Structure 1
Amino acid sequence: MDAITIGLSLMGMLAFLLVSGTWIFVSLLLIAGLGLSIFLGYPMDRIGSIGTRVILTSAQKWELAAIPLFVFMGELIYRSDISDRMFRGLLPVVGRFPGSLLHTNVLGSIVFGAVSGSSSATTAMVGKITLPNLEERGFDRKTALGALAASGGLGLLIPPSIMLIVYGVMVEQSIIRLFAAGVVPGLLIGALFSLYIALRHGARAKRAAGGSAIELDRDQLSFGNLWQLGPIAILFTIVLGAIYSGIATPSESAAIGVLATAIVLVALRQFNLRKSYDAIIATVLTSSMICIILIVASFLSSAMGFLHLPQIMAESAGGLIERPYVLIAILALFYLLMGCFLDGISIAVMTLPIVFPMISQAGFDPIWFGVFLVITVEAGLITPPLGFNLFIVSGMSGEPIGKVARAALPFFFLMLLFMILLICMPGIALWLPDVMQR
């Protein structure tokens, strides 16, 4: 049986398991075992031995420790008023620009994403603060919903990004270089969103509600309110400063970040056992889901290696590898469609064992591709009508999913535009890592 038939058979079985409601990690485990059993004839005891060895080795990777620690840090912040302080601190920054407070969804997502690393957490946290405030002041609700759905995805890209950690672990690339590569694209995408809001919706927002409901008090626009950004700025500086200065690894920086968050909450008199317990429970649930998928995916990757599927698929796609931009366009379309049904981490762990060897043979830089993958998944999160972030915003706002999808559509096209720019100008992602390496 040729590699294409094997690959399609395994993908078909995986699709059936996912559609039937089987847990993702169970689906990956079954596909790995079935692949070795059906196509190589391995007995169950040998499959069990291989799986146990690979899973235990993968579970002991030190880089995985960063995931629950960064999640815990985000959960602690979520249960404090740091995000509300962040909103008030951003008022004097954005209140003077066309579009005014509509920019808080973008800037808030960049700032919170820098200490959260999670798209869903960023979207939920920022939306909880900004949507009621924007509605109260009469701002265009459609624009607010679209900006939130799109900007929340920046939590996947702005370091410390959990998805970049997962990618780095799977393809054995430097997580510090991946973090550095995500900085400039993340900021540029945020700037692109804000430019769109300023050009298209600035004047419209000023006319909303007769022009009175959206006026901000002079006290709110005072730059004296910038001190409200202090807690988030301290955490941002400590975590990223420790990483980029070389003082600590990403996992060690995550531990430092948790300690710094606890100290800040104690100083703000917002640290208590009940909030800590809730944060721990939420962290265990989230990080267990992420880590178990990643660990089981290592078994799937090994099974694909035993089947020689990545190498054979790469050889079979030789025509595409000789036309790298056609390959990257096909992969982009594939990831956009996958983003309609699955979260970014699941997409990465299920596809990288086959996709990454093809990318490597096509000559693409693995650091660049990590950023491109994350941005493509970000766009998939708002791909109408089933993007994951669309459901989060719909649930938070009470608006129909169709309305949220239409609101996010302009931002979706802006993401596609940036993807094209990144393909044409890979230095956007590679400039900062290269500077750091010198």
Structure 2
Amino acid sequence: MDPLVIGGIVALVTVIVLFSGVSVAIGLLLVATLFLWIFDGPRSLTALPELFYAELNSFALLSIPMFIIMGASIASTRAGPDLYEALERWLTRVPGGLLVSNLGACALFAAMSGSSPATCAAIGKMGIPEMRRRGYPAEVAAGSIAAGGTLGILIPPSVTMIVYGIATETSIGRLFLAGVIPGLLLTLLFIAWAIFDTWRRGAASSVLSGVTYSWREKFEMLPRVIPFLLIIVGVLVALYGGVATPSETAAVGAMLCLLAAVLIYRMFSYRDFWVVLRDSTRESVMILFIIGAAGVFSFMLSSLFVTQSVAQWIGALEVNRWVLMGIINLFLLVAGFFLPPVAVILMSAPILLPIITAAGFDPYWFAVILTINMEIGLITPPVGLNLYVINGIAPDIRLKQVLLGSLPFVGCMILAIVILCLFPGLATWLPTAVMGVAL
């Protein structure tokens, strides 16, 4: 049977299995086992345990649970609300200042935690009620937090970037650097829309009237959040400066964040530590399980020559490389609607990387484009994880309202992709400047 036909059948069966409600990792393993059994016979299955183990036998993977512990220890404290309150006090006189404060807090907390759901929960619990109390529409309050939370998978340190680096064997340090300027660009686009929307609604003064803070009140919150930001900066400096590997810097960062949580927020309870370790273990095992299963799934595609045939077919298409990139973006966008970012990256990145490099695109630039597409998936149904997180912390705001409030920020993300296509140096300049030209 033609490998392309097999690939189409594999894609159809995979979609059916994943939509049946089976977890992503189990679904990938079932599909891989089924097709290897059918086309290669039962003897091919003897290699699956070794393949699964080999996919996880990587020192670089240690950085994933370490960064997750780092984020969980921050998320378990009041660092998120404190960060939000500190920014709100400094930006209260800016038009739409409370909305800008929420987006800024989301960006900073996302950088500290690396988790979109954690960012939505931490900032949304205080930000949404406060915005509604001051007159912001419910959909604006909820949608802005849902969109702001997506920044957690782009701004370093990012677990998503680590997964991409492992799947494509690219430098994690370069990937982190590639996400810095696009992350700032996306944050600025969000803030620009927030200010414009506030002005458009004529709410710049009415929602802020009578709210003032003294200089003492502005400064008193900073000592509680600055240590966490310094830890993040220190981790990134150590990583980019070549002092330590990603796994080593992540381990040190996790330990320092736990110490900061104890010293600043008095997290002395055994139960608090248990919650941090339990949640971190649960999320780490889920991601690592998907990584192992995706490795087996990729082996199945390769052994049946599906990957090679798809790459050859796309490479033989006589189309402009930007048309090709548009098709790839559309594929990633649709995939992000239905699958979590980690699953999409592990399933698609190894196939797409040779195609985009053959077309002359930079793999680190492409990582940023892919990640922004995954961000869109986090705030669009049917998966739309951030939408459900917001609906959970503000159940009186209907899911439709959260979605409507987040749609303008989807437009900002699409605009960011266009800008990065026009000016790819926004993603490639910083990695080259800091770490030299990639070999």
TM-score range with shorter-chain normalisation? over 0.9
Deviates more, 1:153-162 or 1:236-245: 236-245
Picking from 323, 340, 343, the partner of 1:343 is 340
* Shift, 1:93, TM fit: 3.3
CA contact (8 A) 1:164 1:179 kept: yes
* Shift, 1:385, TM fit: 6.5
Who is 1:87 aligned against? 84
- Counting only pairs closer than 5 Å after superposition, residues 11-160 of structure 1 correspond to structure 2 as 11-39=11-39, 42-49=40-47, 51-160=48-157
**Structure-1 separation of matches of 2:417 and 2:295:** 28
Who is 1:226 aligned against? 222
Deviation string 1:362-421 (CA, Å, 9 cap, x unpaired) is: 222111111110011111222356533222222222111111111111111111111111
User: RMSD in angstroms over aligned alpha carbons?
Assistant: 2.0
* Shift, 1:228, TM fit: 3.6
* Shift, 1:65, TM fit: 0.9
Deviates more, 1:103-112 or 1:321-330: 321-330
Who is 1:236 aligned against? 232
Q: Equivalent residue of 2:35, what SS?
A: helix
Q: 1:104 to 1:81 in 2, by over 3 A?
A: same
State the TM-score, normalizing by the size of structure 1. Answer: 0.93
Who is 1:417 aligned against? 415
Deviant stretches of 4+, over 6 Å: none
Picking from 257, 261, 265, the partner of 2:257 is 261
* Shift, 1:163, TM fit: 0.6
* Shift, 1:190, TM fit: 0.2
* Shift, 1:270, TM fit: 2.3
**Structure-2 separation of matches of 1:30 and 1:332:** 28
CA contact (8 A) 1:18 1:27 kept: yes
| Residues 1:173 and 2:141 are matched in the alignment | no
CA contact (8 A) 2:387 2:399 kept: yes
Q: Amino acid of the residue matched to residue 166 of structure 2?
A: V
Deviation string 1:269-306 (CA, Å, 9 cap, x unpaired) is: 22321100011111111111111001111111122221
**Structure-1 separation of matches of 2:113 and 2:139:** 26
Deviates more, 1:420-429 or 1:377-386: 377-386
**Structure-1 separation of matches of 2:241 and 2:87:** 27
Q: 1:298 to 1:384 in 2, by over 3 A?
A: closer
| Residues 1:9 and 2:6 are matched in the alignment | no
Q: 1:386 to 1:165 in 2, by over 3 A?
A: closer
- Counting only pairs closer than 5 Å after superposition, residues 278-297 of structure 1 correspond to structure 2 as 278-297=275-294
**Structure-2 separation of matches of 1:182 and 1:114:** 11
**Structure-2 separation of matches of 1:255 and 1:13:** 40
Deviation string 1:211-270 (CA, Å, 9 cap, x unpaired) is: 54x623335863454334323222222222221222121111111111111221222222
Q: Amino acid of the residue matched to residue 361 of structure 1?
A: A
Q: 1:65 to 1:304 in 2, by over 3 A?
A: same
Who is 1:359 aligned against? 356
Picking from 152, 159, 164, the partner of 1:162 is 159
**Structure-1 separation of matches of 2:357 and 2:113:** 30
**Structure-2 separation of matches of 1:221 and 1:188:** 30
Q: 1:182 to 1:259 in 2, by over 3 A?
A: same
Who is 2:246 aligned against? 250
Q: 1:13 to 1:220 in 2, by over 3 A?
A: farther
CA contact (8 A) 1:262 1:271 kept: no
* Shift, 1:106, TM fit: 1.5
**Structure-1 separation of matches of 2:332 and 2:318:** 18
Deviation string 1:103-137 (CA, Å, 9 cap, x unpaired) is: 12211121111121222222222212322232333
State the TM-score, normalizing by the size of structure 2. Answer: 0.93
**Structure-1 separation of matches of 2:144 and 2:114:** 18
CA contact (8 A) 2:90 2:218 kept: no
Deviates more, 1:128-137 or 1:298-307: 128-137
| Residues 1:301 and 2:298 are matched in the alignment | yes
CA contact (8 A) 1:335 1:377 kept: yes
**Structure-2 separation of matches of 1:47 and 1:272:** 47
Q: 1:265 to 1:386 in 2, by over 3 A?
A: closer
Q: Amino acid of the residue matched to residue 238 of structure 2?
A: A
CA contact (8 A) 1:367 1:430 kept: yes
**Structure-2 separation of matches of 1:216 and 1:7:** 62
Q: Equivalent residue of 2:243, what SS?
A: coil
The count of corresponding residues between Structure 1 and Structure 2 is 433
Who is 1:371 aligned against? 368
* Shift, 1:341, TM fit: 1.8
Picking from 425, 428, 434, the partner of 1:427 is 425
CA contact (8 A) 1:385 1:402 kept: no
* Shift, 1:320, TM fit: 4.0
- Contiguous gaps of at least 5 residues in structure 1: none
